[in-house]
Every structure is written in structure tokens, then in C-alpha cells.
Amino acid sequence: MSDAVLFEKRDDHIAVVTLNRPEKRNAINGDVTQGLDSALKRVEADPDIWVAILTSSNDRVFCAGADLAEVARGNNDVMFTKEGGFAGFVNFPRTKPWIAATLGATLAGGLELCLACDMIVAADTCTFGLPEVKRGLLAAAGGPVRLPRRIPMGIAIEILTTGDPIDAQRAYALGLVNRVAPAAELMTAAIAFAKKITVNAPIAVREALKLAKETASLSDQEGKHLMDQAQARVMLTEDFKEGPKAFVEKRQPVWKGR
């Protein structure tokens, strides 16, 4: 894996993936793209990883978006993969929950990376925005599509058309952010949040996540059909038997992930 993206597999079923081009504000280039692509595939392939956290080694900016030096050289292609799109990340087909843990300015492509994650834990110093229109550009890595699904339409349109950022507290009030923590405690808060997920049966978590994504725009009847299929898969797992058994025996369940 490239040094531009660091990977830590913890012993609590959590992986921490860190954007690590601090001198370039974590701008996306070929190295970052390939590093994220490798990290995503490693998380998906490892049955012992149940949740991943995406964060930054730069305490003033999460990610500056595309590296404009690459754009100027005509190297746009290095910032995309066929499977994951921009940064090898925004369109990658993931089955496990990802939490973005953001420090500082989370703007443009940086916010679009967060919107590609499932949840966000933000430092209280964060700002969030899509300022592309101020430069005659379009946020084209998912922002205009995903932001209105996360916050009220009117506010999403305001952010998209003015290019002005919002602070962490407003982002939390709007439901864009799940948790806000002091900057010095960000990773502690993000890991504690991830552990609230990893105490649960991993297959059931992944099926719930898949259903939430797939049924968002479906009718109740269409959603029920997919839900019944997911329930049938969960009922075949060892964990489905372990949960009720542990409850009856008054002990914590031991999940096998199968």
C-alpha cells in the first residue's frame, strides 16, 4: 500500500485508514487513489474487519479534493479507478460500514469522500462545504446527488449553489454528522462509535446496511421483498442462533461472523 494512505488493523474488528499527504492537504493523486483502492479491497476481503474508519493525518484539512497539479498535467485518469470512481473510493461497492472521522476543512472532494461513507464523526473545528461553483466547477464525485439525501433539500441546494460552508454544529443539527467531538478527542470518539457497531452480529449489520441503501427509494412492498430475502440469509447464520441463546444464558454473545 502507498505511504499516501496508511492502514491499521486493530484487534477489535476495526480498521483505520488514514489519508497521509499532509503537505498537499491530502489532495487526491494517483498514490492516494491506489492506496484507497487497496484499503477498500483489504477491508472487504478480511472477515475479521467489521467496521472501517477513514481519517486524515492533517489536523487542518480532511482532504482538499483533486490534486490540481495532476489536473493541469492532464493526469485526471490517475485519480479514478473503474470500480471505485474518484479517489478509487466514492463508488466502490462496499458491504461493511465506514465512518469518516474529519478534522478541519472538509470541503469539495473531501466532503464527497465523507458522503461516500455511511456515518461521520466530526471535530468541533470542522467546516463542511462544496465550493466548486465559486471556481466555475461542479462537484462531480457524488456531492449534488448524495448531499440532498443526507440533509433537507433546501439546505443542500443552498450549500451547492452558494458554495458557502457550514460548521460542525450546524452539520450535526442537520443530520449530516452523527457525532461532534473536541479535535483532540476525535479518534477516541470515532473508535467508541465504531465499537457500538462491532458489539453486534457482523452479518446482521451488513444486511441492515445493505437494506437501508437499496430500499431508500423503493415502495414498502418492494422493500419488504428485499427485507424477506435478507432475513432468510441471516437466519442461516450461526450468529442468528447465538444471539437468543446468549440472552437466555444472561451472557454477552460471541459472534462468529458466519
pLDDT digits (tens, 9 = 90+) for 175-223: 999 999 999 999 999 999 999 999 999 999 999 999 888 876 656 666 5
CB 4 within 8 A of CB 70: no
Q: pTM of whole model > 0.95? A: no
Task: Check residue 70 and give its pLDDT.
Answer: 79
Tracing cell 491530502 back to the chain, one arrives at 26
pLDDT digits (tens, 9 = 90+) for 45-58: 999 999 999 999 99
pLDDT at site 224: 59
Q: Determine the Cα angle at 210 with ends 102 and 173, to 5°.
A: 40
pLDDT tens column, 223-253: 556 656 766 777 678 776 776 677 678 888 8
Share of the chain above pLDDT 70, in %: 91
Which of 112, 185, 238, 249 is catalytic? The answer is 112
The pLDDT, as a whole number, for residue 49 is: 97
Q: What is the mean pLDDT of residues 139-167?
A: 93
Domain boundaries, the chain: 5-198, 202-248
Verify whether residue 132 is a known catalytic residue: yes
Specify whether 112 is catalytic. yes
pLDDT at 209: 93
Question: In this predicted model, which residue has the larger pLDDT, 57 or 254?
Answer: 57
What pLDDT is recorded for position 98? 98
Phi/psi class of residue 104: alpha, beta or left (left: φ > 0; alpha: ψ in -120 to 50)? left
Which fold is adopted by the domain 5-198?
A: 2-enoyl-CoA Hydratase; Chain A, domain 1 (3.90.226)
Sheet holding 119-123, edge to edge: 5-9, 14-19, 51-56, 98-102, 119-123, 179-181
What is the chain's mean pLDDT, rounded? 89
The pLDDT assigned to 257 comes to 79
